Amino acid sequence: MRSCSPTLSPLLGALLCAVGASAAPLPPDASYRPLPAAPFDQVKADDEAQKTEVMQRQRNLLEERFDLSDQPIPNILMSGGRKSVQGGVRVKLPTGISWDSLANMSADEIRERGVLPKGFMPLPHVKQATGGQVFPDEEIDEIARQEQRNLRRFDVDFDLPDRFTPEFPAPIFLTTHPELGDVSRGQLVTIKNYYELFVGILTPVQLEGMRLLLTPFPQEEFNQTEDRKSADQSLGVTCLDCHANFHTNGAFHQTPDVRPQAARFRLDTVSLRGLFNQQIHGSKRSLRSVEDFTQFEQRTAYFNGDQVSAQRKGVNLPNRFDQVPMMAQMQNIIDFPPAPKLDPTGHLNPAKATPEELAGEQVFMGKGRCSSCHIPETAFMDNNMHDLQLERFYKVGQTQNGLVMLPDGPIKTLTLRGIKDSPPYLHDGRLLTLADTVEYFNLVLGLKLSQPEKDNLVSYLLTL
């Protein structure tokens, strides 16, 4: 308000006041990460004291939303042959509502009566106010064993049961060597073993790209400053700590693209399989190349889109003209897992598919409208972002475990190739099984599928 000083001419003063008035006086830490207000030992003690309640709240939320029991689909395994795929609809319905009765209600009625299944709503981070990267125990334990590097947080643990995460470690398929099949040899690829595993298979450029993707760099929760959530001064995290074996281990984070903190939705790590066909990257940012994505993840996955915080904690800016292209070239040779029932155009081979799977493909291409975005010929994506407008079905602004429920807006179409390997589903992992995603899209697209159509659709999705 100094600009309104009486020494200025009245006209100029009025102009400056009017200009100043247009700036929203929200506090700076609504956008920027604040410095800690207490010393590290005190924050750590408080975080540890809160942890039991934090984990119990999230567990209560998950149990309120989902049936978390063990119901593997018979005779179906993920592509590495090491983990079963969970089946059945796990999202719980409100009392007195069936899936059919829900599908026959208008969006307005569902919203006004408050009967949208809570499992369809955005899934909060395990500790929304703090957020940040959270790794599953399998990843934490294996990195500790191989690298003696600590990925464990003292404030939170991973929240979803293991049965709803991808198999670990995931198999790796290379576009440059389809004849070899899975080249991971059942190991988690790390800075300690990548060279022996891949020399003679990869080019020097690809090997250097992989080395960079496996090298830890400081990150918002794993760094050397007092603003961290690892007990020790951390060496940082690597790209493949989340994108384990170039797939995903289910590690989650929050979107770097939204503020303030309570509005930042959860992000489930996306698989890097098939990146060579993907033209846009990031759920929200629509970055136009793998190179852009690789470069900017140092600003976003690592530092929440806050370059100020990154500068203090030790930002790594890979060289755009040399290092980034090598990292990108390595990522661009990661193939989808084999889908033996699909022909070269992405359609089922009738000689190999079951009647249920073929019927499911008909739903996918027709009544289910799945193929209008997940186009078989282009690796089951359309390189577009779409807004499913779930907010038609609930009242926005409710708070659930610290996350404010807001419209998701347009989100990138994700590929469905190898989809049985990538639970949980949607960008935030809010859906645990493929049967859940069928019910979700049945509602948001108003499809009114019959139960046999839904079942066939799931059978079809398992072939992709």
Partner 1 sequence: MTRSLWIWLGALPIFACASFAQNADQGKPAPGNPAGSPADTREAAPGVPALGQANVADRAFIRAAMLGGRAEVQFGKLAETKASSEAVKNFGRRMAHDHGAANDRLFSLAGRLTVALPPDQLGPEHKILWSRLDAEDGAKFDKDYIDAQIGDHQKTAQLFEYEIGSGQDAQLKAFASDQLPVIFEHLRMARVLSDALAIQMMAAASPLQK
Name all contacts of 276-279 with Cβ < 8 Å and 24+ positions apart.
276/175, 276/332, 276/333, 276/334, 277/378, 277/379, 277/381, 277/415, 278/379, 278/381, 278/383, 278/415, 279/383
Radius of gyration, CA atoms only, the chain: 24
- 43 or 461: whose CB is closer to partner 1? 43
Name the minimum Å distance from CB 53 to partner 1. Answer: 6
Q: Residue 75: how many CB atoms within 10 A of its CB?
A: 6
- What is the Cα–Cα distance from 312 to 428, expressed in whole angstroms? 29
- 346 or 402: whose CB is closer to partner 1? 402
Cα Dmax for the chain = 87
**What stretch of H or E contains 411?**
strand 411-412
- What is the Cα–Cα distance from 96 to 344, expressed in whole angstroms? 46
Name the minimum Å distance from CB 366 to partner 1. Answer: 35
- 64 or 343: whose CB is closer to partner 1? 64
Name the minimum Å distance from CB 23 to partner 1. Answer: 9
- 333 or 404: whose CB is closer to partner 1? 404
Name the residues that contact partner 1, by CB under 8 A: 1, 4, 17-18, 20-22, 24-27, 29-30, 34, 36-39, 42-43, 45-50, 53-54, 57, 114, 118, 124, 127-130, 227, 260-263, 395-402, 404
- 29 or 322: whose CB is closer to partner 1? 29
- What is the Cα–Cα distance from 380 to 385, expressed in whole angstroms? 14
Name the minimum Å distance from CB 228 to partner 1. Answer: 10
Name the minimum Å distance from CB 14 to partner 1. Answer: 8
Contacts of residue 439, defined as CB under 8 A and 6 or more positions apart, other chains included, come to: 89, 91, 99, 454
Phi and psi, residue 272, nearest 5°: -95, 0
Name the minimum Å distance from CB 252 to partner 1. Answer: 16
- 370 or 403: whose CB is closer to partner 1? 403
Q: Omega into 260 within 30° of 0, i.e. cis?
A: yes
Name the minimum Å distance from CB 43 to partner 1. Answer: 5
Contacts of residue 312, defined as CB under 8 A and 6 or more positions apart, other chains included, come to: 225
- 41 or 70: whose CB is closer to partner 1? 41
